[in-house]
Amino acid sequence: MARLHPALEPYSPSSDDPFDATKVAHLLHRAGFGATLEEIDAYRSLGPKRAVEKLLDFPDLPVEEQGDEGPDLSGIEGYPNNFAERRKLFESKTPQERMELQNMLQRANREAVLATGLWWLQRMVTGPTPLQEKLTLFWHGHFTTSARDERSAWLMWQQNETLRRNAAGNFGAFVKNISRDPAMLDYLNNQQNRKGRPNENYARELMELFTLGIGNYTETDIKEAARAFTGWGHDGESYIFRPSLHDEEPKKFFGVTGKFDGDDVIELILKRNECANYIAGKLYRFFVAETAEDGVLASLGFLLRESKYELRPLLYTLFSSKAFYAPTAIGTQIKSPVHLLTSSARLMGIDNPSRIPLMGVLEQMGQVPLNPPNVKGWPGGRMWINTSTLFVRYNTSLLMVSRINEKDLNPNRLSNPREIVAYWLGRLIQRPIAAAKRAKLESELGPRPDNGAIRRMIELIVSMPEYQLC
Amino acid sequence: MQGDAESKVLSLKCSPVNSPLSTLNSPLTTMKDHMHSRRLFLQHGMALLAATPTIPMFLDNTAMAFANAVASQDSGKDGKILVIVQLSGGNDGLNTVIPHGDDAYHRARPAIGKAAKDVLKIDGYVGLNPNLAPLKSLFDNGQMSIVQGVGYPNPNRSHFRSMDIWQTAEPDDERNTSGWLGRYFDSCCSGADPTNQMDPSSGVSIGEIQPLAMKGEKFSALSFERPDSFRYKGKNLDDFVDLNKPLSDATPTRDAPREADAGRRGKPVIAPVTEDEQLNFLSRTALDAQASSDRILRATGAHKPGVSYPGGEFGNGLKTIAAMIRAEMPTRVYYVSLGGFDTHANQAGRHDQLMTQLAQGIGAFMEDLRAQKNDERVLLMTFSEFGRRVVQNASGGTDHGAAAPLMLFGSRLKQGLIGKHPSLTDLDAGDLKYNVDFRSVYASILQNWLDTPSKPILGRQYQTFDLVRG
């Protein structure tokens, strides 16, 4: 078992199987939000190993410690988050003032959540650490919290930073941190989980969705774990442990008895093979393919346990593996709505997406950042596609094409239709395209293509089903 | 299961030569001409399966399902139709169906209550809001029923949560990801693909976002704001159709693997999905979308109703629905919303406007259907996520409440008032107590109108009442 599954052994380029533009683009789509031609050149020259090392080379820090100011939350600045301070502020007001303040704060928080989402999309497009953001998006769909339920924009933003800081760190530490995250404590009601009146919501999702997967624990385990998490709460800003609400009595969890608290329960969960397999499998399906050869996921799970749940070794193995570069992985993933938008902006060189109602189209396509549909996150894959979302995806792509800078339509001043088509397919699809479709694109250009014809041809490229895949 | 459905399709005898649809050798235009006739399709649908790679996916997936399971249940064309009107924001039930004969009503609402003399009286106790005159005449003609005091146990007063509860019909499970109508569609068809079980226009909702109520585990309703927004917006539709041609019949659009199936011991290993299969899936969904878009644009373009609908999204939505019914679309469930009911302050004028809009819209719709001679086929139901507090608040408005009346319209309704009006003095935290569980109404509609067993959809058997004349 100790040996790595052959499909996970590193891909090494050969003359028959070179690290070409298609493979580099594949890597940067999956481990980020797509690659420009310059990025393809730069990463190709690194070779597959160093390319992955470079992608994984980011600090496990919140953006505010990476020199990024983060979203503009000025609308909610100056108002206390802390419950006690907020209560004091409200007590000093008349009922009428209280209602007005309440309404103002609600509006300000909604706007701040929107600002956070837009800032995040921008960072995905132009930020220096694409894989960190891609992982943050993955974990946001894993350790979900929705701004529909958590109305505090500040706590939603703090959770986003928690996801980022832990995205490629140690999974065990991650679970302990997220279990103390105020937005999570609200979302899954651990704030209301107290001695004698346990609320099992968090304990259940912790096991069913966050660590083990359904069927790998009993109802008794849930009840006992819930007791261990009693008293874990927050004060509006930060995690607090409320000893008087914590159940100090012994609990029996996974057959072991002790005066467990939440951390003890997490440690016992991490010991289970199912936990490592579950997380490794979920990462594999998100980043590589929806199915794996027999034994691959178990081998990855083993790797995760061996590394004591450090995520970087697992991610390095994934992105370097033969399985990752297999024909059954490349070009087989349906772009998530967020990916479709952000990668379009990158590939088309759009620095000004104004006049594109980003959140509106994301909602119509079924993925609004900070608003996952429920605690299970976004199901993904073919579930992104139905007759309603498909038109929105195509029409949004067309809208993006209309925003490509005029001077960027034919930067190399090509005049041969075939070369122009090849240039734009190389920018937007980066995989081989059937000859008949290429011929159609060329015929759209006509013999002497001007910018108008080139833009029309690009509209056809994004109207091909190939553009929906990466 | 899904495999079974597919193999049954293939084993059925077909008569490809003599069928009028067997001429469908690819051009979409030929198909369009035939598509209006669902009955013809049912008779000859099997022939389609052998025909061509360019038929929309729903046709080959649903041919079987319709021929078998739904044979008795009719399509929208010749069968029964359900229209849902969602009143978003929490409609003030007490100022909609008004207990004018109750002193407690007038005491609780000195500023916003309606004087008994203005109420459109149904009997000595209740009557309709003075702005609902068109609905009052429907009531007098036996075309309107009112179910009084509809709600559910432990009412939730959050808009989002309570709306989810009404839409999923699952007060206790926050993770429910399917709606009651979506499950209705799931239960009456099972086919080969998770996102395209049946003709996507079997359920149509007017609005940018698909309501949770219409989302099944497999079925996904068609959603659009306006008929002309549900289309490919590129310059040339032929290009879109051409670029989205499915590859060939040889490339199946089989079920995408489910997360739960991947890598589980004892489960057969599912072959990875190839890029060609994904392209085929996307292309066929695009073709489905195009076929639906085309039908809808033609239906709505051709409809020139003799009645006038009120302006605004709601009136336009009902007009679109009437047009689609007239055009014999296969749609069985339509969904449309009227928003703005969250009347916390100065509600009098605002709520009266909404009542007017509601009454004029439904009045025009019912008259339109009568002129089309389709009124006997349609049942319309209104609902809101909750009613409002009995006592008005200090701002001349009302706060979130609980039980409220629900209205039904149709030419085949059995009785006027259903259920007892809740007491205005025996309250639950200031709110009306419910007498009828909303799931009883759903169960009655499913069994009595849609001729479908309700238990598989609602999870248990709720009490039903006689809704329509036999």
Instruction: Tell me the chain A residues in contact with residue B395 when contact means C-beta distances shorter than 8 Å.
Output: 99
Chain A residue whose CA is closest to B265:
A294
User: How far B335 CA lies from chain A's nearest CA (Å)?
Assistant: 15
B167: helix, coil or strand?
helix
Instruction: Tell me the chain B residues in contact with residue A99 when contact means C-beta distances shorter than 8 Å.
Output: 395
Residue whose token pair is 């549909």: A373
The rounded Cα A390 to chain-centroid distance in angstroms is 21
pLDDT band at B291 (very low <50, low <70, confident <90, very high): confident
Instruction: Tell me the chain B residues in contact with residue A394 when contact means C-beta distances shorter than 8 Å.
Output: 232-234, 240, 286
- Does residue A172 register a pLDDT over 90? yes
Chain A residue whose CA is closest to B177:
A374
* pLDDT at residue B12 in the model: 26
Q: What is the mean pLDDT of chain A?
A: 95
Angle made by CA atoms A404, A409, A412, in degrees to the nearest 5: 145
User: How far B269 CA lies from chain A's nearest CA (Å)?
Assistant: 7
**A85-89, B189-193, B259-263: range with lowest mean pLDDT:** B259-263
User: How far A62 CA lies from chain B's nearest CA (Å)?
Assistant: 30
Which one of A149, A363, A465 has the shortest CB-CB distance to B244? Answer: A465
Instruction: Tell me the chain B residues in contact with residue A440 when contact means C-beta distances shorter than 8 Å.
Output: 239, 242-243
pLDDT band at B344 (very low <50, low <70, confident <90, very high): confident
State the Cα torsion A330-A333-A335-A336 to the nearest 10°.
Answer: -140
Residues B244-286 have pLDDT tens digits of 988 765 454 444 444 444 333 434 445 678 999 999 999 988 9
pLDDT band at B435 (very low <50, low <70, confident <90, very high): very high
Say if residues A28 and A39 touch (Cβ distance below 8 Å).
Answer: yes
pLDDT band at B426 (very low <50, low <70, confident <90, very high): very high
* pLDDT at residue A115 in the model: 95
* pLDDT at residue A237 in the model: 95
Residues A399-424 have pLDDT tens digits of 999 999 999 999 999 999 999 999 99
- Does residue A118 register a pLDDT over 60? yes
* pLDDT at residue B58 in the model: 55
Q: Is the dihedral of CA A307, A311, A316, A318 positive or negative?
A: positive
Chain B residue whose CA is closest to A146:
B160
Instruction: Tell me the chain A residues in contact with residue B177 when contact means C-beta distances shorter than 8 Å.
Output: 373-374, 376
Chain A residue whose CA is closest to B217:
A383
A413 sits in the region (left: phi over 0; alpha: psi -120 to 50; else beta) called left
Which one of B194, B222, B271 has the shortest CB-CB distance to A388? Answer: B222
Say if residues B90 and B376 touch (Cβ distance below 8 Å).
Answer: no
- Does residue A451 register a pLDDT over 90? yes
Instruction: Tell me the chain B residues in contact with residue A381 when contact means C-beta distances shorter than 8 Å.
Output: 256
For residue B121, give the H/E element and its range: strand B120-121
Chain A residue whose CA is closest to B230:
A391
Residues A12-54 have pLDDT tens digits of 999 999 999 999 999 999 999 999 999 999 999 999 999 999 9
Minimal CA–CA distance to B436: which of B92, B87, B148? B148
pLDDT band at B395 (very low <50, low <70, confident <90, very high): confident
Which one of B221, B235, B282 has the shortest CB-CB distance to A465? Answer: B282
* pLDDT at residue A137 in the model: 98
A141: which 2 tokens?
């769909």
* pLDDT at residue A436 in the model: 93
User: What value does the mean pLDDT take over residues B137-162?
Assistant: 94
* pLDDT at residue A433 in the model: 94
SS3 content of chain A, % helix, strand, coil (to 5): 60, 5, 35
- Does residue B91 register a pLDDT over 60? yes
Instruction: Kindly report the three-state secondary structure assignment for every residue of B322-373.
Output: HHHHHCCCCCCEEEEEECCCCCCCCHHHHHHHHHHHHHHHHHHHHHHHHHHC
A170 sits in the region (left: phi over 0; alpha: psi -120 to 50; else beta) called beta
pLDDT band at A4 (very low <50, low <70, confident <90, very high): very high
The rounded Cα B253 to chain-centroid distance in angstroms is 28
Residue bearing the bigger pLDDT, A398 or B65: A398
Minimal CA–CA distance to A191: which of A153, A142, A145, A157? A145
Burial A295-326 (b: 16+ CB within 10 A, else e): ebbbbbbbbbbebebbbeebbbbbbbbbbbbb
Q: Is the dihedral of CA A123, A127, A129, A134 positive or negative?
A: positive
Chain A residue whose CA is closest to B283:
A465
Share of chain A above pLDDT 70, in %: 99
User: What value does the mean pLDDT take over residues A326-346?
Assistant: 97
pLDDT band at B77 (very low <50, low <70, confident <90, very high): low
Instruction: Tell me the chain B residues in contact with residue A466 when contact means C-beta distances shorter than 8 Å.
Output: 279
Predicted ipTM > 0.90: yes
Residue whose token pair is 């992105």: A319
* pLDDT at residue A432 in the model: 94
Residues B201-230 have pLDDT tens digits of 789 999 888 899 998 888 888 889 889 889
Residue whose token pair is 């912790």: A206
Cβ of B117 under 8 Å from any chain A Cβ? no
Does B220 contact A386 at a Cβ distance shorter than 8 Å? yes
- Does residue B14 register a pLDDT over 70? no
pLDDT band at A383 (very low <50, low <70, confident <90, very high): confident
Chain A residue whose CA is closest to B207:
A364
- Does residue B314 register a pLDDT over 80? yes
User: How far A338 CA lies from chain B's nearest CA (Å)?
Assistant: 17
The rounded Cα A362 to chain-centroid distance in angstroms is 14
Does A387 contact B200 at a Cβ distance shorter than 8 Å? yes
pLDDT band at B70 (very low <50, low <70, confident <90, very high): very low
Scan residues 168-207 of B and list those with Cβ closer than 8 Å to A.
174-177, 193-196, 200-201
Angle made by CA atoms B386, B387, B390, in degrees to the nearest 5: 145
- Residue pairs between chains A and B whose CB atoms are closer than 8 Å: 154
Burial class of residue B195, CB neighbours in 10 A (0-12, 13-18, 19+): buried
Chain A residue whose CA is closest to B201:
A387
* pLDDT at residue B4 in the model: 34
pLDDT band at B55 (very low <50, low <70, confident <90, very high): low
d(Cα A390, Cα A387) in Å, to the nearest integer?
5
**A33-47, B66-80, B286-300: range with lowest mean pLDDT:** B66-80
Q: What is the pTM of this model?
A: 0.84
Q: Which long-range contacts (CB under 8 A, 24 or more apart) does A196-203 make?
A: A196/A247, A198/A223, A198/A226, A198/A227, A198/A230, A198/A247, A199/A226, A200/A226, A202/A226, A202/A229, A203/A228, A203/A229, A203/A265
State the Cα torsion A41-A45-A51-A55 to the nearest 10°.
Answer: -40
Burial class of residue A96, CB neighbours in 10 A (0-12, 13-18, 19+): exposed
Scan residues 31-70 of B and list those with Cβ closer than 8 Å to A.
none
Burial class of residue B425, CB neighbours in 10 A (0-12, 13-18, 19+): exposed
User: What value does the mean pLDDT take over residues B40-68?
Assistant: 42
Bridge partners (DSSP) of residue B417 are B146
Which one of A296, A331, A387 has the shortest CB-CB distance to B222? Answer: A387
Q: What is the mean pLDDT of chain B?
A: 80
Does B244 contact A464 at a Cβ distance shorter than 8 Å? yes
Residues A202-232 have pLDDT tens digits of 999 999 999 999 989 999 999 999 999 999 9
Instruction: Tell me the chain B residues in contact with residue A332 when contact means C-beta distances shorter than 8 Å.
Output: 272-275, 278
